[in-house]
Amino acid sequence: MTHPLVDQLRFARSEFVRGLADVRGSEAQRRFGKMNCISWIVGHLAWQEQRYWLYRAQGQVLIPKLNEFLAYGKPACTPDAEEMWSSWRQVTQAADPWLDTLTTESLQAPLTEGFSSVGTFMLRNTYHYWYHLGEGMAIRQLLEQANLPEYVGDIDSLAPYRPDSGESTVDRVDKQQFIRNVRETREKLDALIAQVDEDRMLQPLDGSKWSVKDIIAHITWHEREVLAVLKARKLVGSDLWNLPLDERNQAIYEQYKDLPLGNVLSDARDVYQQMIGELEKLTEEDLNEPDRFADMPPGWRISNLFRENTYQHYADHLLELSVVLKGNS
């Protein structure tokens, strides 16, 4: 289990994405007076994560350009938004394995010789996200954009208070909010995919051998696993869960890569609708009590599994596809 401070950083990241990822093109590069532009804000947060968790913690510099143009104190600039989101994703993904190893003890150690503790830098990074998210939302208002996200989001499900022991105390899941999270995030993902014609769905994405079709099949595999658990009311699943993440994803890809696009799209619709129907049948007790489904690990609730394989999973691929597809449009 990740440390509670790491959970809070990741929640800040997810709220940052929820608030700013929709702003693209010239609007993301627009400056008002001396305010930063949104694309700069994204690159600046990527620079800070690289500086803390890659360079100072591990001696790595993944994207030198971030140091050259997006560091604190550098002259103002208006970088390309798609490039900045791509850089942000690369840096945060590279940092995550190291962040997963942190403990209460290691958070008290200096980030590197002569510096404050890892935990202090964790707080600085987390608060930095909120600072610039507020700035970004102010820019969106100046851009006269409508239907802006409201804050704070689903902290009860995504990042509830946990003492260092790891035991959660105030994270009861609200069923209706949970269902809304699933539906709304999936609708955003479907709306983005709907902009892609069928020929393009079969083409590998930049930097990957996966196509949009492969990503849809990948998401459907996870929903089918959720559906199996819902129907059985016990923790059942594919043997692929026993594999490391990269190997499991590769196995899923191999399983569906030759399936025709029409079959993949049809399966995606059918499995999602069946899953939503079964989720609607659940009670709040089903989502919150650890003994409502058979064969669960002690104290573990089924809502954890559902969340990770539905709207959190959708959000991961929503950002990935948004960056790649809009960058190539």
pLDDT at 169: 46
pLDDT at 316: 80
User: Torsions phi, psi of 153, nearest 5?
Assistant: -75, -150
Residues of the chain short of pLDDT 50, as ranges, are 167-170
> Which domain covers residue 231, as residue numbers?
175-327
Same domain, 99 and 199: no
d(CA 236, CA 239): 10
Domain boundary among 109, 133, 158: 158
Same domain, 70 and 98: yes
* Dihedral sign of CA atoms 228, 234, 235, 236 in order: negative
pLDDT at 32: 96
This prediction has a pTM of: 0.60
Pinpoint the alpha helices (H) of 144-210.
155-158, 175-193, 198-201
pLDDT at 170: 41
Q: Around Cβ 173, how many Cβ atoms within 10 Å? A: 22
Look at residues 81, 62, 323, 45 and name the one whose alpha carbon lies nearest to residue 207. Answer: 323
pLDDT at 136: 97
Same domain, 320 and 185: yes
pLDDT at 328: 55
Same domain, 186 and 279: yes
| Structural domains counted in the chain | 2
Same domain, 87 and 227: no
